[in-house]
Amino acid sequence: MPGTQQVEFWTLPLQGHVQIEKQSEIHAIHVCIKKKRGGGFFLGYRKKVSSDKTRENFRLIYNTKGRFAVHRITLEEAKYKLCKVRKIFVGTKGIPHLVTHDARTIRYPDPLIKVNDTIQIDLETGKITDFIKFDTGNLCMVTGGANLGRIGVITNRERHPGSFDVVHVKDANGNNFATRLSNIFVIGKGNKPWISLPRGKSIRLTTAEERDKRLVAKQSSG
């Protein structure tokens, strides 16, 4: 992890989680507010990691290669987290519940929130502060499939009763691609993201474009 001396490297065990291993004892590492000590704890997509010693905050995201990447975030952004709504149900005594992609269960959600929408959660209180509807024209990140890590605007949704729905997305370069609905994570209203984006805005380059980019960087540095 950049900026810390305690965390030495990242490994990828089962189920796509990232496990932090330690060579020396880890001190004052917080994962979504909760303090962690020692190695062997797991991180998933969009988990926030903070270090008391360096006063830095990071978010775990996917890059366009489909790998986990550690993205540095501001202190203001570290106060909240975006979660995808997986399930909405009515529990005992008629109390409505909402379940997110990271297994949070929240009671009495806004009745306008539906499955596949994205909610903004205050990490200190655990309460919903805002939400984004899953709708065409909104910005999203792909969290699975062949287009893992790409970011773009939702242009269309194909409904296939009895099968999985397909969502069409266009990135900032005008490239169109499609993926399953379950792979879509809405991260902004319109073209305005609710989180900071990594370098390159998660636009996947072709092999030729990557080669040209490396050549330009090599020439400028030489």
Residue 56 lies in a domain: yes
80-91 tens-digit pLDDT: 999 999 999 999
Q: What letter would DSSP give residue 106?
A: E
143-189 tens-digit pLDDT: 999 999 999 999 999 999 999 999 999 999 999 999 999 999 999 99
Residue 36 lies in a domain: yes
Same domain, 64 and 11: yes
| CATH number of the domain that residue 154 is part of | 2.30.30.30
Question: What does the angle CA 67 – CA 76 – CA 143 come to, to the nearest 5 degrees?
Answer: 25
User: Tokens standing for 182?
Assistant: 């379950």
| CATH number of the domain that residue 106 is part of | 2.40.50.740
The predicted model scores a pTM of 0.76
Residue 1 lies in a domain: no
194, 80 Cβ separation under 8 angstroms: no
Element (H, E) at 11: strand 7-11
Residue 123 lies in a domain: yes
Residue 83 lies in a domain: yes
Same domain, 101 and 145: no
Same domain, 147 and 122: no
Same domain, 29 and 65: yes
Same domain, 175 and 151: yes
What is the count of structural domains for the chain?
3
Pairing of strands 128-132, 118-122: antiparallel
Residue 195 lies in a domain: no
Residue 100 lies in a domain: yes
Same domain, 128 and 152: no
CA-nearest of 41, 42, 39, 45 to 67 is 45
4-61 tens-digit pLDDT: 333 333 444 434 444 444 433 444 455 544 544 545 545 555 566 766 667 788 888 8
Distance CA 146, CA 178 (A): 9
Distance CA 129, CA 104 (A): 15
**What residue numbers bound the domain in which 39 lies?**
7-75
Question: What does the angle CA 42 – CA 88 – CA 59 come to, to the nearest 5 degrees?
Answer: 30
Distance CA 124, CA 89 (A): 25
Q: What letter would DSSP give residue 181?
A: G
Task: List b or e across 120-144, with b for residues whose CB sees 16 or more CB atoms inside 10 angstroms.
Answer: bbeeeeeebeebbebeeebbbbbbb
